[in-house]
Amino acid sequence: MATFKVHASEHLQYQNDMLILTVLGGIKLEGLDRMRVTLKIELPDNPRPAIRHNLDLYNDIQVEKLVRKIAERMEIGITVASASYAFLA
């Protein structure tokens, strides 16, 4: 089951069965021609270190690289990583 939580305006968190994705620092409403964010990606109930990554969510190449990085480091399929990211797009 997927959940979306807002902890203050600078801490947005999405969790599904596979991943927890947190937008650190929130999303600035000025300059929305770019959507630069810092993401923290982690597996629920898993001691594996979280991935922290800066990217522009409007940049398809950056997003594709992040999905591959998540799949490789977290040892989950690209389809799972991509589906987990889709809520941000």
What is the pLDDT, as a whole number, of residue 1? 66
> What is the domain extent for residue 57?
3-85
How many folded domains does the chain comprise? 1
Lowest mean pLDDT among 48-52, 57-61, 82-86: 82-86
H or E element at residue 52: strand 51-56
Contacts of 70 (CB under 8 A, 6+ apart): 19, 41, 51, 76, 81, 84, 85
Helices (H) and strands (E) in the chain, counts: 2, 5
Token representation of residue 55 = 């990217």
What Rg, from alpha-carbon coordinates, does the chain have?
Answer: 13
Q: What is the pTM of this model?
A: 0.79
| Locus of tokens 């991935």 | 51
What is the pLDDT, as a whole number, of residue 9? 67
